[in-house]
């Protein structure tokens, strides 16, 4: 960690994490009473809260005091029970928005129609409005399991288990395996993750790819730092993994593509700028040739234009920048109805840019509001349940919101506390990964449509970091033994 050896650098990094997290948490806490009233939260919320807290805490206690077989059997039983409960609530109901559209896209792929869907608000068939990776994965799952609520829940659970496993790997690399296991458990029952399980939502794939990206960067950085001898084949295998993961993330959630660079900067603090830059440049051809180039060629043949990631960029810019913008999706201007897909995006972007130029104060106000609301509030999962048709029991969605918001506030405060603590080399890397997630949203993401789902990729990192903040420091290592902390 030579790059961060001056104390001022580490102190500034800690402040750069603590300050925004506390601002977000403060906004969420201040907004909670009003949101509670708007949702008309019933007494059932207290019951659901107690159940969820018990499900979260009991396995964490067992991690320390019980045999592993009992611990993991309890975890499995609780996770299955909670997911079945959410699945039963959503079963037989049709979701709104993307959760419905992704199923339609996957079905069209299986029918041979390609990645095409008619957008009723745009008034045209679209072929690049949605990035391709999640619909392709969903189509693969659907070909085997179908698209029932049970099938969607099973598919989401497999993705979430993979993310949980990746979280444990990342924490173990940094000598924090116990914290990684605790964080992985919480991730599997985290309200936003749990409430999305029976719906077709791509945030689980984004989270998985983000954690894998961090693992690959840190692996490359550690090998370079320790001067591990590498054959040409081994170097290129590392580049292949990094490039493919980066390309997959870009074509799953294009707005999160800058994470590749930001995590690379974290790696540079471990091994230095030149080795990190070399590793990154070596990965570029694999990202382009293996993942991006087929998409570029396909779009060039369809549109006669270069569409690098998605056609939704202009639309997303307008959603985030207009007099009524909240950060959440909203229907487009009526004058754009029926315009061809690419022209639609350009026209929407032009309207947004014109508004920004003529209303700079409004632009700043809306951008700040999007940032603090997108990070400070956790109601998207409950909103998805409330939007199901036919409607679910009236008390369920408000209760789910209350549990989600309390858990999210605890996460933000817990991560801020961990950032404020004295850092070790391993926790410094986690600190910088969390900082990279915050920078990703505030520097690259917030200018467009920006809601809670656009920061969901950061949840695994916040959970690992928060659990590290609750753990005892690892004992000094002996020889080649990796220090492992005791989870308290």
**Tokens 């700028």 correspond to what residue?**
273
pLDDT band (50, 70, 90) for residue 63: confident
- Token pair recorded at residue 301: 């043949």
Strand partners, 125: 118
Cβ neighbours, 10 Å, residue 350 = 13
- Token pair recorded at residue 174: 């940094």
- Token pair recorded at residue 154: 């099973």
- 484, 178 Cβ separation under 8 angstroms: yes
Instruction: Kindly tell me if the per-residue pLDDT of 433 is higher than 50.
Output: yes
CA nearest 347: which of 361, 336, 332, 363? 336
**Vertex 109: Cα angle to 108 and 113 (nearest 5):** 60
Strands 124-126 and 117-119, by their bridges, are antiparallel
Instruction: Kindly tell me if the per-residue pLDDT of 486 is higher than 60.
Output: no
3-state helix, strand, coil in the chain (%, to 5): 75, 0, 25
- 371, 439 Cβ separation under 8 angstroms: no
Q: What is the model's pLDDT at position 234?
A: 75
pLDDT band (50, 70, 90) for residue 346: very high
271 φ/ψ angles, rounded to the nearest 5 degrees = -115, -5
- Token pair recorded at residue 390: 């036919």
How does pLDDT run across 377-411, given as a tens digit for each residue? 999 999 999 999 999 999 999 999 999 999 999 99
- Token pair recorded at residue 143: 């070909």
Instruction: Kindly tell me if the per-residue pLDDT of 488 is higher than 60.
Output: no
How does pLDDT run across 204-249, given as a tens digit for each residue? 999 999 999 999 999 998 887 766 656 567 778 889 999 999 999 9
How does pLDDT run across 299-315, given as a tens digit for each residue? 999 999 999 999 999 99
- 291, 251 Cβ separation under 8 angstroms: yes
What are the strands, taking DSSP E only, across 174-285?
none
CA distance linking residue 259 with residue 271, whole number of Å: 18
- 287, 317 Cβ separation under 8 angstroms: no
CA distance linking residue 404 with residue 381, whole number of Å: 8
Q: What is the model's pLDDT at position 229?
A: 59
34 φ/ψ angles, rounded to the nearest 5 degrees = -65, -40
Q: Is 375 exposed, middle or buried (0-12, 13-18, 19+ CB in 10 A)?
A: buried
How does pLDDT run across 85-121, given as a tens digit for each residue? 999 999 999 998 999 999 999 999 999 999 999 999 9
How does pLDDT run across 23-39, given as a tens digit for each residue? 999 999 999 999 999 99
- CA–CA distance from 204 to each of 72, 101, 230 (Å)? 22, 17, 33
Cis link prior to 390 (omega < 30° from 0)? yes
Instruction: Kindly tell me if the per-residue pLDDT of 475 is higher than 50.
Output: no
Q: What is the model's pLDDT at position 226?
A: 66
Instruction: Kindly tell me if the per-residue pLDDT of 487 is higher than 60.
Output: no
Q: What is the model's pLDDT at position 482?
A: 37
CA nearest 255: which of 164, 154, 166, 327? 327
pLDDT band (50, 70, 90) for residue 3: very low
Q: What is the model's pLDDT at position 236?
A: 84
Q: What is the pTM of this model?
A: 0.94
CA distance linking residue 269 with residue 183, whole number of Å: 25
CA nearest 159: which of 178, 140, 179? 140
Cβ neighbours, 10 Å, residue 340 = 15
Instruction: Kindly tell me if the per-residue pLDDT of 156 is higher than 90.
Output: yes
pLDDT band (50, 70, 90) for residue 1: very low
DSSP secondary structure string for all residues of 40-90: T--THHHHHHHHHHHHHHHHHHHHHHS-HHHHHHHHHHHHHHHHHHHHHHH
Q: Which residues contact 144 (CB under 8 A, 6 or more apart)?
A: none
**Tokens 């390309």 correspond to what residue?**
247
Instruction: Kindly tell me if the per-residue pLDDT of 5 is higher than 90.
Output: no
Measure CA 405 to chain center.
17
């Amino acid at each position: 960690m030579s790059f961060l050896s001056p104390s001022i650098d580490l102190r500034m990094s800690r402040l750069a994490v603590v300050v925004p997290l506390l601002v977000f948490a403060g906004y969420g806490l201040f907004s909670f009473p009003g949101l509670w009233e708007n949702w008309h939260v019933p007494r059932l919320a207290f019951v659901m809260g107690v159940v969820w807290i018990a499900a979260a805490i009991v396995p964490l206690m067992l991690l320390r005091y019980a045999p592993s077989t009992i611990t993991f059997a309890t975890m499995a039983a609780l996770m299955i029970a909670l997911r079945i409960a959410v699945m039963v609530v959503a079963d037989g109901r049709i979701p709104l928005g993307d959760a419905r559209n992704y199923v339609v896209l996957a079905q069209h792929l299986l029918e041979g129609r390609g990645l095409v869907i008619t957008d009723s608000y745009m008034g045209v068939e679209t072929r690049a409005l949605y990035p391709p990776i999640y619909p392709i994965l969903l189509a693969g799952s659907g070909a085997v399991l179908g698209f029932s609520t049970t099938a969607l829940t099973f598919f989401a659970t497999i993705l979430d288990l993979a993310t949980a496993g990746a979280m444990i790997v990342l924490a173990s690399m940094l000598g924090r395996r116990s914290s990684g296991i605790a964080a992985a458990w919480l991730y599997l029952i985290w309200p936003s993750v749990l409430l999305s399980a029976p719906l077709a939502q791509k945030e689980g794939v984004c989270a998985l790819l983000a954690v894998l990206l961090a693992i690959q960067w840190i692996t490359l950085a550690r090998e370079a730092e320790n001067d591990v001898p590498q054959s040409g084949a081994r170097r290129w295998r590392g580049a292949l993994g990094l490039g493919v993961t980066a390309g997959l993330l870009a074509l799953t959630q294009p707005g999160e593509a800058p994470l590749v660079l930001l995590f690379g900067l974290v790696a540079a603090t471990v091994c230095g700028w030149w080795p990190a830059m070399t590793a990154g440049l070596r990965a570029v051809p694999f990202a382009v040739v293996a993942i991006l180039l087929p998409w570029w060629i396909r779009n060039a043949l369809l549109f006669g234009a270069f569409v690098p990631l998605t056609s939704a960029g202009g639309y997303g810019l307008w959603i985030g920048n207009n007099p009524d913008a909240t950060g959440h999706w909203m229907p487009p201007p009526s004058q754009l109805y029926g315009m061809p897909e690419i022209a639609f995006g350009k026209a929407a972007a032009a309207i947004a840019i014109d508004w920004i130029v003529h209303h700079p104060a409004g632009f700043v106000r809306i951008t700040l509001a999007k940032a603090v609301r997108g990070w400070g509030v956790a109601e998207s999962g409950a909103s998805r349940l409330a939007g199901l048709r036919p409607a679910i029991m009236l008390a369920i969605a408000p209760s789910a919101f209350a549990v989600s918001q309390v858990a999210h506030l605890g996460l933000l405060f817990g991560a801020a506390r961990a950032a404020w603590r004295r850092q070790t080399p391993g926790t410094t890397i986690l600190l910088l990964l969390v900082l990279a997630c915050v920078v990703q949203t505030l520097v690259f993401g917030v200018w467009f449509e920006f809601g809670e789902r656009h920061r969901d990729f950061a949840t695994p990192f916040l959970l690992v970091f928060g659990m590290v903040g609750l753990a005892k420091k690892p004992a000094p290592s002996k020889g080649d033994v990796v220090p492992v902390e005791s989870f308290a």
